[in-house]
Amino acid sequence: MEEYNEKQLSIIIVAERLFADQGFHGTSVRDIAQEADVNIAMISYYFGSKDKLLESVFRYRMEASRKFINELVQNDTMEPLEKINSLIDRYINKMLGEQHFHCIMNREQLNKEKSPVRDLIWELKREMLGLMQPIVTRAQEAGTFDKEVDVVMLMTTLFGTINQAIPAQYILRNDIEFENMNDDDFKEYLRNRLSTHLKKLFKAILTHEF
């Protein structure tokens, strides 16, 4: 469990935003230093290098992700579909709440060359899958869920749909019907629309009910 002081944390937060908006290579350490209002040398001093700073951003958010996953595994009184619905909502909330981080994840996961960060991403995805798999499988064995559903693909659909919706906002936002809606209202609107869609989708494919 690593601890960051105030200055280190502000560097991490600024770097996260800039990496998300402009990409890792599209952001210079000078950009980061300026926006975080620290000297350039402080980045090397605290994090070692620009690469290690990216790693630090990941480790910082990963901790929250781990906690998130562990919280999901609780509440064992719920029925399978309730659990799935809860998982959908929580995941939507997490992604909309940590848009910058998930934006970086989506970019970095595309890199072909192996890197510590790429490994962390897939470690996290595997953990999420490892959480959802038993929920579905147990419900399949109990006869509640369709036995032929491909759980890995279903997770891909969950991640993929939300990931795809995030950049789509930037565009939708310019549409006439949303032009005078404030950011929070729009986020709430998107959250509901995503939630309704995904829950309907999962219910249909898993239980054959509507």
- What is the binding site for a copy of itself (CB under 8 A)? 20-26, 103, 106-107, 109-113, 122, 125, 146, 148-150, 153-154, 156-157, 159-165, 167-168, 170-171, 193-194, 196-197, 200-201, 204-205, 208, 210
DSSP annotation of 192 reads H
Distance between CA atoms of residues 202 and 144, nearest Å = 13
Q: How far is the CB of 7 from a copy of itself (least distance, A)?
A: 25
| 20 alpha carbon, distance to own chain's centre | 12
71 binds, among a copy of itself, DNA, none (CB under 5 to 8 A by kind): none
* Tokens found for residue 60: 């910082």
Q: How many CB atoms lie within 10 A of CB 104?
A: 26
- ∠127-132-136 over CA atoms, to 5°? 150
**Which region, judged by CB under 7 A, interacts with DNA, from 34-42, 58-66, 79-87, 99-107?**
34-42
DSSP 76-136: TTS-HHHHHHHHHHHHHHHHHHTHHHHHHHHHHTT--S--HHHHHHHHHHHHHHHHHHHHH
- Residues 34, 45, 63, 197: which binds DNA (CB under 7 A)? 45
**Shorter beta-carbon distance to a copy of itself: residue 13 or 205:** 205
Helix, strand and coil in the chain, % to nearest 5: 75, 0, 25
Q: Residue 5 or 77: which CB sits closer to DNA?
A: 5
23 binds DNA (CB under 7 A): no
Among 38, 124, 135, 165, the residue binding DNA under the rule CB under 7 A is 38
Question: By CB under 7 A, how many residues form the interface with DNA?
Answer: 20
Which does residue 93 bind out of DNA, a copy of itself, none, counting CB within 5 to 8 angstroms by kind?
A: none
Q: Which is nearer to a copy of itself, 10 or 161 (CB)?
A: 161
Residue 151 is a binding residue for DNA (CB under 7 A)? no
Token digits of residue 18: 């800039």
Binding site for DNA (CB under 7 A): 5, 7, 25, 27-31, 38-45, 48-51
